[in-house]
Structure 1
Amino acid sequence: MSDEKKSEGTEVLTEGVVTKYMSAAQIANNVLKEVIAKVQPGVTAGELATFGDDRLLELSSKAFKKDKETEKGIAMPTCISVNNIVCHFSPLRSETDITIADGDVVKIDLGAHIDGYIASVAHTVVVGASPTNKVTGAKANVVLAAHYALEATLRQLFPHKGLKNTDLTGNITRICKVFETTPIENMLSHQIGQFDLGAGKEIIQNPTDEQAGKIEKVGFEENEVYIIDLLISTGTGKAKAGDYRTTVYKKAENLVYQLKMKNARTFFSEAQKKYGGMPFSIRGFENEVQAKVGVVECERHGLLQPYPVYYEKEGEIVAQFKTTALITSTGILKITGVPLDLSLFESTHTLDKPTQTLINESLKLKKKKLAEKKDEGKKAEVETKA
């Protein structure tokens, strides 16, 4: 995947661009549904991750077959993070795995891309939840908080509302407080572009005092695309790297180094060819020993950016929901995600009326607002001609 293909600034969401986003989203959503169906007691996180990646590759290989130059594939390897594990758990076949048990809270995170147009998604499942075995207590609270925080955030992306990224941060915090939960510190939602997982603007869900001063206050504009990623905890929200090996990496941008070890050169070449600049898991390499050895030198010299496995304290629960959203001329287009069955969750906490009203808003612009936009466009056109 060439660096020249990376986008610069915001692209116009033309019909062709939206079609590629939607194609990638269909793949991601279908694989997510298939993985969810396999989340049962006795299956391992590694088995789920392998299945998810295999399906992402299989389905993406069938898309845009006539255009042989179109790059496509995994945009985020399948990660299966259980209970207090926050994110990025995709264990190697030869190392410690986790067997899913009844009552576990399982986060599924994955993504696909078509021609560098990325569709990323995450969903949380409580194993064994059913109409006769509803989720209650802290587990229900953390899942509902993450779900509602995501839905509220989406509806604050409308440019006409004039909100800043910091306004969204405050709203996430308020919703989490209602459910006696805490957003994981310093986790970011990103504006994205073609072949670009960090195109500029960021939304931070729970900044430390140090981090808060580094985030530029920005608004939202038409033709922007965001991955909105909410990770919420029953604990303090202070996640740390743990004992499990980091297996998810991404090629660093514009960095060149002549690797010394043959294993490292072979591994890095294969990673570039197979994944380009997209995140990948070394569990996907056939020669695991070579990958484990090769990645060490690549990371040491900054050629690969690690995605560490983060944890909350033992006994705490973390929930995650992630979607990819396009800000279009007709509203917010939420292209990834599957519905959460709210009937399976019971909480003693309820949202206040303003928040309930917000999350019930349509993601499509109302006719009146569309008419106002059209009038503004005509006025600007006349002023330009004058």
Structure 2
Amino acid sequence: MAEKGDESSEEEATISEDVVVTKYQMAAEIANRVIKAVASACLDGAVVLDLCEIGDKMILEETQKVFKKEKEMKKGIAFPTCVSVNNCICNFSPLRSDPPVKLKTEDVVKIDLGVHIDGYCAIVGSTIVVGCTKDNPVTGKKADVIQAAYIASEIAHRMLKPGGENFLLSDTIQKAAVQFKCTSVEGIVSYCMKRNRFDEEKTIMLNPSDILRKELKKCEFELYEAYCMDVIVSTGEGKPKHQDARTTVFKRTDEVYNLKMKASRAFYSEVTSKFDVMPFTLRAFDEEGKARMGVVECVTHKLLDPFDVLYDKEGEFVAQFKFTVLLMPNGPLRITSGPFDPDTVKSSVQLEDPELKALLSSSTKKAKKKKKAKASETPKENGAAEDTKK
């Protein structure tokens, strides 16, 4: 991550330049293919570990096929593949040593992953239900929460435009969720993205508590910004809790500390060389046991930030739609989308709020201005009008 006050960060390229847009879009094309492949493997009896490994392996393979001549260019996983089931909110990416988790028919499955090319990240997340099709659609609470998250994400896409405001967007997402007797998950954060980093000064937080709302800075979205928008909705209270699942995904911070344990130093050295600033999973290390040992001291002294596995209450269901948007002159350009078919979901609840319905039906593209009549055409048109009056 670039440190605050780094002059190079102030002069970095933005999506106003075609080459940057190209890198975002190439990363997005890979992310969209990978999440589709993982989703197609989410069958009854599938093991979550296998699904995560399918995603990570495919990202690494696909990114090696682009910019082959740019030997120094870094590319690969921007966020490890996570597969979170039913009431699990996010960040579940198990290790080989963990007890196997198998999918069952009608499980609500959230797939979340990211790809980067030269530090430009394309993040995507989507929700599917195992075994559900157009002929056998999901119904009940599961359908309600998926529909709520899907509609809220579509509204968010339309509101992510220059001049938009973070508090209004998060409040509108909650308003949409409530229509389906659901709630957006408290504290889930979406970021303005820059090369190799998230801009923590510009964030969108879902359903913030009173304390979090006071701490959160109000901000406006600006032209040529890129955002990772994460919409997560629950049938429950939407208050994230920890359970017994092991945290396996981490990211380096800017903190400095002299590690005491040899295992910790060796582990952190490998993190620095292999993953640089991008999030990683302990599964990516050849010696998992040593990685599990070394990570403890690194987290204790804040050299690494953990992406904790979070849950809502047992028996509740959580749905997610996560996407990357580029704020372009002709409107917000959504470059990542998961493999979701609205026809596989039959919710008994309808969106009734007129303001939300208007937002949902609005175009994501900026309306083109009508061309003014040329000066040479004006007299002719005026003359025609006068003839009509006569």
TM-score calculated relative to the size of structure 1: 0.91
1:343-362 map, 5 Å = 343-352=343-352, 353-362=354-363
* Contact 1:7/1:195 (<8 A) preserved: no
Q: Relative to structure 1, is the Cα distance of residues 86 and 144 closer, same or farther in structure 2, using a 3 angstrom cutoff?
A: same
Is residue 183 of structure 2 the alignment partner of residue 177 of structure 1?
A: no
Give the Cα–Cα distance (whole angstroms) in 1 for the partners of residues 143 and 181 of structure 2: 11
Deviations 1:244-291 (A, max 9, x none): 1100000012x2222222221221111222211111110111111111
| Distance apart, 1:70 and its partner CA | 0.9
1:108 maps to which residue?
111
1:46 maps to which residue?
49
2:74 to 48, 57, 71: 71
Is residue 45 of structure 2 the alignment partner of residue 61 of structure 1?
A: no
Q: Relative to structure 1, is the Cα distance of residues 9 and 323 closer, same or farther in structure 2, using a 3 angstrom cutoff?
A: farther
2:93 maps to which residue?
90
Letter paired with 2:369? K
Q: Relative to structure 1, is the Cα distance of residues 105 and 5 closer, same or farther in structure 2, using a 3 angstrom cutoff?
A: farther
| Distance apart, 1:69 and its partner CA | 1.4
Letter paired with 1:97? P
| Distance apart, 1:10 and its partner CA | 7.7
Give the Cα–Cα distance (whole angstroms) in 1 for the partners of residues 189 and 359 of structure 2: 22
Give the Cα–Cα distance (whole angstroms) in 2 for the partners of residues 267 and 5 of structure 1: 30
Letter paired with 2:54? F
Deviations 1:228-252 (A, max 9, x none): 0011100001111111110000001
Give the Cα–Cα distance (whole angstroms) in 2 for the partners of residues 168 and 140 of structure 1: 23
Aligned length: 368
1:288-303 map, 5 Å = 288-303=288-303
| Distance apart, 1:33 and its partner CA | 0.7
Secondary structure of the equivalent of 2:260? coil
1:26-45 map, 5 Å = 26-45=29-48
Letter paired with 1:323? F
1:298-313 map, 5 Å = 298-313=298-313
* Contact 2:201/2:217 (<8 A) preserved: no
Secondary structure of the equivalent of 1:368? coil
Of 5-14 and 75-84, more deviation after overlay is shown by 5-14
Deviations 1:70-98 (A, max 9, x none): 11110000000000011000111011231
| Distance apart, 1:23 and its partner CA | 0.9
Secondary structure of the equivalent of 2:198? coil
Of 1-10 and 12-21, more deviation after overlay is shown by 1-10
| Distance apart, 1:346 and its partner CA | 1.0
Supply the RMSD in Å over aligned alpha carbons. Answer: 1.9
Of 281-290 and 265-274, more deviation after overlay is shown by 265-274
* Contact 1:9/1:199 (<8 A) preserved: no
Q: Relative to structure 1, is the Cα distance of residues 336 and 9 closer, same or farther in structure 2, using a 3 angstrom cutoff?
A: farther
Is residue 203 of structure 2 the alignment partner of residue 233 of structure 1?
A: no
1:283 maps to which residue?
283
1:1-386 map, 5 Å = 7-8=9-10, 11-13=13-15, 14-159=17-162, 162-253=163-254, 255-352=255-352, 353-368=354-369
Give the Cα–Cα distance (whole angstroms) in 2 for the partners of residues 71 and 6 of structure 1: 18
Gaps of 5+ in 1: 373-386
Give the Cα–Cα distance (whole angstroms) in 2 for the partners of residues 60 and 10 of structure 1: 23
Of 9-18 and 244-253, more deviation after overlay is shown by 9-18
Give the Cα–Cα distance (whole angstroms) in 1 for the partners of residues 198 and 39 of structure 2: 25
Q: Relative to structure 1, is the Cα distance of residues 37 and 308 closer, same or farther in structure 2, using a 3 angstrom cutoff?
A: same
Give the Cα–Cα distance (whole angstroms) in 2 for the partners of residues 9 and 50 of structure 1: 37
Q: Relative to structure 1, is the Cα distance of residues 346 and 9 closer, same or farther in structure 2, using a 3 angstrom cutoff?
A: farther
Greater C-alpha Rg: 2
| Distance apart, 1:11 and its partner CA | 4.5
**Percent of aligned pairs sharing the same letter:** 45
* Contact 1:192/1:200 (<8 A) preserved: no
Deviations 1:151-186 (A, max 9, x none): 101111222xx4321111121111111101011111
Q: Relative to structure 1, is the Cα distance of residues 6 and 362 closer, same or farther in structure 2, using a 3 angstrom cutoff?
A: farther
Secondary structure of the equivalent of 1:76? strand
Q: Relative to structure 1, is the Cα distance of residues 271 and 298 closer, same or farther in structure 2, using a 3 angstrom cutoff?
A: same
Q: Relative to structure 1, is the Cα distance of residues 272 and 198 closer, same or farther in structure 2, using a 3 angstrom cutoff?
A: same
Q: Relative to structure 1, is the Cα distance of residues 260 and 10 closer, same or farther in structure 2, using a 3 angstrom cutoff?
A: same
Secondary structure of the equivalent of 1:201? strand
Letter paired with 2:175? R
Secondary structure of the equivalent of 1:206? coil
Letter paired with 2:241? K
